Chain A
Amino acid sequence: MTEPLIYELSAAGRRGALLPAIDVPETALPAELLRDDLDLPEVSEMQVIRHFVKLSQMNHAIDKGFYPLGSCTMKYNPKFNEDMARLPGFALLHPLQDQDSVQGALALMYTLQTWLAEISGFKAVSLAPAAGAQGEFSGILMIRKYHQERGDTKRTKILVPNSAHGTNPATVTMAGFQAVELPSDANGDVDLAALRAACDDTVAGMMITVPSTLGLFEGHILDVIRAVHDCGGLMYMDGANMNALMGIVKPGELGFDVMHYNLHKTFSTPHGGGGPGSGPVAVGDKLKPYLPGPVVEIVEPASDEDDAPLYGLRMPEKSIGRMKAFYGNFGMHVRAYAYIRIHGADGLYNVSRHAVLNANYLRVKLRDTYRVPYDRICAHEFVVEGHFPDVENVHALDISKRLIDFGVHPPTNYFPLIVPEALMIEPTETEDKATLDNFVEVMKTIAAEAREHPDRLRSAPHTTPVSRLDEVRAAKQLVLCCRPIPEWAE
């Protein structure tokens, strides 16, 4: 089953949406400035609906089945949150209105800032970053500006463990620092000796993911933080995996200076097929003046209990600046607000408890079939090796593709880089025991097939609209657009 391109459904003169007739006198159009042609499809509304519905059916999604994509927290996305973000008072609100006319939106953002600060144990939050990667970037820019304002300009390095997300070293470079990779020890923790050797007065800070991308709570996190602070560096926590930590530990209380959230992971604002995300950044006292802005503050306290205060948007005093136009991905803030409000403190604590319970259950059930390189109690996810010592030429990729035939989205594969043939499995708390048990059975079936019918894995998937793709051709013979672009004469 494949679907034609929308352009292939087009026929000259066909219309979809209709607009009202013009109700003002016309003004002459400036002929010399107008374009000759506009190469968009000409299709009816029903064609558009059928086309995109058919396309949607070619996707795997949380709403269709298990999606244990490690480090992405593919949990259930409550339908309610979608309705709330679409309330006209939010969806039809212009970002540059006068402050008096947007007090409801500002109140929501202020409250969300407060809750995110409380959950992480930090002093202040900015909702400005548009995604986790932007949260990281703003955090490292704050560290940079903090040192510069103190005249401490020789700090040019940021330490990054080798288990880090790829965004971490890329962020470091983007902010004008040099990334220094740190090895992991035999337990999958940061190698403390290597860390201490790397700590000197050229270190601006360290970025670390907690729990790590191996799904492990860092065994000596307080020692790591102390080592970096002792040499004058600041500690950045990548909060991509906060789904394991709510009500379990507050990163700000451990001594971290700054972290970012991924609202689309922990607070289930949906992933949208690859965004929009939202990456609020939380800081302690040291970095508070540097937050990206604007942030929401109380401009005038409430005069009495029944009254609301007056909220306003302010740039923090030494802000690193704006991360995007306006104030972050507000639609995601509404969803995260709804999610936190429905859960409360106990609910969020239960989310993290069950995320960790589910991951450990799968780890224990799978460890006799797949090698678990760091086999200790894990957090919300764990990593297995997707190969077998007694089978040649069956790889993590083949296991992944075969899982698709059983209706399961493959785990994150070939990451983290420090585990050979890595399959990173994150079940999330919203999956029930029956789904987990089924996944275990499927993984065991695939392991048996690897020995008896390895070609079934190598040629998988067999049940999808298309088979494995020629990715080399895609990169060599680049086709990024289906329409001919005119040769413009300069």
Chain B
Amino acid sequence: MSYIPHTDVERQQMLAAIGVTTIEDLFEAVPSAHRFPRLDLPAPLSEMEVAAELQALAEANEHAGDFAIFRGAGAYHHFIPAAVNHILLRGEFYTAYTPYQPEVSQGTLQATFEYQSMICALTGMDAANASHYDGATSLAEAVTVALEVTRRKRDKIILSPAIHPHYRAVVRTYHQGTGVRIVGDAGRADISDLTDMLDEHTAMLAVAYPNFFGRIDDLKGLAQKVHAAGALLVMVVNPMALGLFKPPGQLGADIVVGEGQPLGIPLSFGGPYLGFFAVREEYVRKIAGRIVGETVDQDGKRAFVMTLRPREQDIRREKATSNICTNQGLMALAAAVYLSLMGKHGLRQAAELCYHKAHYAAQQIDALPGYQVDQSKPFFHEFVVKCPRPVDAINRHLIENGIIGGFDLGADYPHLQNHMLVCVTEMNTRAEIDALVQGLKEAAND
């Protein structure tokens, strides 16, 4: 397959116009000793052959299309209405680029504005940007905003250990060069332990809602404590849970970030996903990334445009607070289409289905000999199961029975050896949940 349209005749005409004999003549500025190296790549194949090769690779994976899946831990298997993908496949959306020229980009711009509006509605915040790469990088960018808001006079960041381990790792990657102190997440600190760490050096405190273990912590009074210390409250949220639970804006959050993947984006082995990012109004001018605003054209017609551009790297260069350029435009579109299709009632219903099914599963598993589920705190669609044997042994048994079991917490949380994080969504039927319970029962004695 070639996507190059040139004929021999055209090539000759073009070379003659340029005034050279061969295309190779155009590369004389490249050091001759290094010019035209051999590329050791496999021979080209036709579309048919590549399709067969990739299908074989795809089928070598055990995926949620063929298996009942109870794994979440930051990536979730939810229902995606067929219409989402059909809109994403509109060439006018996916073969366009950043809407630098608003007159020919109103489609992307208005869809992004609608996405921002829906993120504000979900989170209860005043403003959202057009997205970051994923939930983890959104959190890392929130740290930058908190440092900027406190004018880099504060250098301490408090992270809850119940924030996704990958997110905490990404915060450390992003901020390894700037002398920020990251504390709070080394042990088993709960919310009150975290607020005890607040002091005059603290720029922000971040908690997850629901937390990594699926629980809804009691956050009453948290915002007041954080604000009293002069710091910002950052909440890492699951957007599906916000179909049901109080919005973080109501809980006093200053910055709300999270992974938008549950909103119409497939698992896709971890990416591309969608980092949403919302703030209270007073911080809008401090945030990074593209932002779409409403305005009018010369005739007074409503129109949309990228705004607050002088914050961005291509204009502010070394004074920009982030180098982000491209974001996750198409994934933001997916979320906008998804939230439109699900709507006010559909998202609530999906969240309730997750809740009820997860609680049914938790009760059944807790009743099994050898297994324990701590149900003392409210939880959404994930819960921690204490298992009688190592989690990987149990999961090996489950997968032989067509089930992808829960996430093994032992590697990231040493005190949780033999603990499994189970996720149940609206995609799991009662029959699947019963099969999981049966599988766990068998695995206890294997």
Contact = CB atoms under 8 A, between A and B. Distances in A.
Interface in A224-271: 246-250, 253-254, 264, 268, 270-271
Given A45-B83, A55-B110, A132-B326, A98 B97 contact: no
A341 B89 CA distance: 23
Given A27-B360, A482-B113, A466 B269 contact: no
Interface string B315-356: 111111111111111110100110111111111111011011
Contact of A324 (B118, B271, B302): B271
B61 A89 contact: yes
Interface in A402-423: 404, 409-410, 412, 415
Contact of A488 (B64, B164, B250, B313): B250
Contacts of A153: none
Residue among B268, B303, B347 having the largest count of chain A Cβ atoms under 10 Å: B268
Given A98-B392, A170-B317, A357-B23, A23 B29 contact: no
B37 A33 contact: no
Interface in A171-224: 171-177, 179, 216-219, 221-222
A35 interface: yes
Nearest to A28: B359
Interface in A142-161: 144-145, 160
Contacts of B296: 469-470, 473
A19 B353 contact: yes
A94 B328 contact: no
A205 B59 CA distance: 44
A479 B294 contact: yes
Query: Taking each of A38, A82, A169, which has the highest tally of chain B beta carbons within 10 Å of its own beta carbon?
Result: A38
B28 A377 contact: yes
Contact of A89 (B29, B53, B59, B74): B59
A287 interface: no
Given A42-B344, A86-B85, A80 B47 contact: yes
Interface stretch (A46-54, A297-305, A385-393, A446-454): A46-54
A343 B46 CA distance: 9
A107 B266 contact: no
A104 B117 CA distance: 39
Contact of A461 (B65, B95, B103): B103
A55 B109 CA distance: 9
B337 A172 contact: no
B336 to A, nearest CB: 8
Given A61-B95, A429-B4, A465-B106, A96 B341 contact: no
B290 interface: yes
B103 A466 contact: yes
B249 interface: yes
A325 B259 contact: yes
B134 interface: yes
A19 B295 contact: no
Interface stretch (B13-21, B149-157, B193-201): B13-21
B341 A48 contact: yes
Contacts of B276: none
Contact of B97 (A170, A273, A327): A273
B303 to A, nearest CB: 4
A76 to B, nearest CB: 5
A410 B97 CA distance: 12
A458 B307 CA distance: 22
B271 A89 contact: no
Q: Which of A102, A412, A470, A485 has the most CB of B within 10 A?
A: A485
A320 B173 contact: yes
Contacts of B247: 35
Given A77-B94, A104-B59, A272-B94, A346 B298 contact: no
Contacts of A105: 57, 61, 269
A80 B378 CA distance: 46
Contacts of A131: 133, 324-326
Contacts of B106: 2, 55, 58-59, 464-466
A96 B75 contact: yes
A216 B30 CA distance: 10
| A interface: dominant SS | loop
A121 B60 contact: no
B414 interface: no
B380 to A, nearest CB: 10
Interface string A306-333: 0010000000000011111111111110
Contacts of B273: 325
A295 interface: no
A16 B1 CA distance: 41
Contacts of A95: 75, 267, 269-271
B15 to A, nearest CB: 7
Interface in A431-458: 431-433
B169 A322 contact: yes
Given A35-B242, A325-B166, A481-B117, A98 B395 contact: yes
Contacts of A141: 173, 176-177
B216 interface: yes
A122 interface: no
B87 A52 contact: yes
A275 B340 contact: no
B39 A17 contact: no
A58 B99 CA distance: 11
Nearest to A101: B62
B340 A326 contact: no
A40 B121 contact: yes
Contacts of B30: 217, 248-249
Contacts of A219: 29
A63 interface: yes
Nearest to B253: A488
Interface in B20-79: 20, 23-24, 26-31, 34-47, 50-51, 53-66, 69, 71, 73-75, 77, 79
A27 B355 contact: yes
15 contacts: A56-B93, A56-B107, A59-B93, A98-B399, A130-B134, A166-B320, A253-B37, A275-B327, A321-B173, A358-B14, A467-B299, A473-B295, A478-B284, A481-B120, A483-B120
**Chain A to chain B: the 5 pairs with minimum beta-carbon distance, closest first:** A326-B270, A176-B177, A89-B58, A63-B91, A104-B60
